[in-house]
């Protein structure tokens, strides 16, 4: 990689690593080890194809897409032996957590109870603010499938979260 391009990459990676990590933590329902691994893999793949990536209009969105696919690939590999609910979230120590932490625990736990693809839909739609079409593209899925998953995931989250959102997240 040429120096200028390498510098561009380094700048991009440093600027996006935090956001990608947070996305990955949501995708993995709090498995921070796995989240780090996924982000490193994502950044590694972007490094490899940086010349091409840097020419696309929205490298940040591109990075998120790569992260989503890396995550789904990982999930596919282990789906035969593990269910989504088997994920043991790496939750923060409650003794050192701040006052708002209970909401996070509830939401992260709820995410962990969704199937991986449904979780990816939720993260892309409501954390990344992507449209159905954009979500479908990122997941290599049809928009109909994304819609279905989205409805299903929202219904499940409503049940799992109960009143937690209205209590804590109302503006």
Provide the minimum distance between the beta carbon of 143 and another protein in the complex, in angstroms, as a whole number. Answer: 17
Provide the minimum distance between the beta carbon of 167 and another protein in the complex, in angstroms, as a whole number. Answer: 10
Provide the minimum distance between the beta carbon of 1 and another protein in the complex, in angstroms, as a whole number. Answer: 6
144 vs 151, beta carbon nearer another protein: 151
8 vs 115, beta carbon nearer another protein: 8
17 vs 145, beta carbon nearer another protein: 17
Token couple for 111:
């995410």
Provide the minimum distance between the beta carbon of 133 and another protein in the complex, in angstroms, as a whole number. Answer: 17
């Amino acid at each position: 990689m040429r120096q200028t391009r390498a510098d561009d990459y380094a700048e991009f990676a440093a600027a996006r690593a935090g956001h990608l990590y947070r996305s990955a933590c949501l995708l993995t329902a709090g498995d921070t080890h796995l989240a780090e691994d996924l982000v490193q893999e994502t950044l590694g793949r972007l490094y490899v194809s940086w010349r091409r990536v840097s020419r696309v209009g929205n490298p940040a969105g591109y990075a998120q897409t790569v992260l989503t696919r890396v995550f789904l690939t990982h999930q596919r590999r282990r789906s035969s032996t593990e269910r989504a609910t088997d994920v043991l979230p790496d939750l923060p120590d409650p003794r050192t957590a701040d006052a708002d932490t209970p909401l996070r625990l509830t939401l992260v736990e709820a995410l962990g109870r969704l199937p991986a693809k449904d979780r990816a839909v939720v993260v892309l739609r409501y954390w990344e603010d992507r449209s159905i079409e954009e979500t479908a593209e990122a997941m290599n899925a049809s928009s109909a499938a994304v819609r279905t998953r989205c409805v299903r995931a929202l219904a499940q989250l409503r049940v799992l979260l109960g009143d937690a959102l209205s209590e804590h997240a109302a503006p």
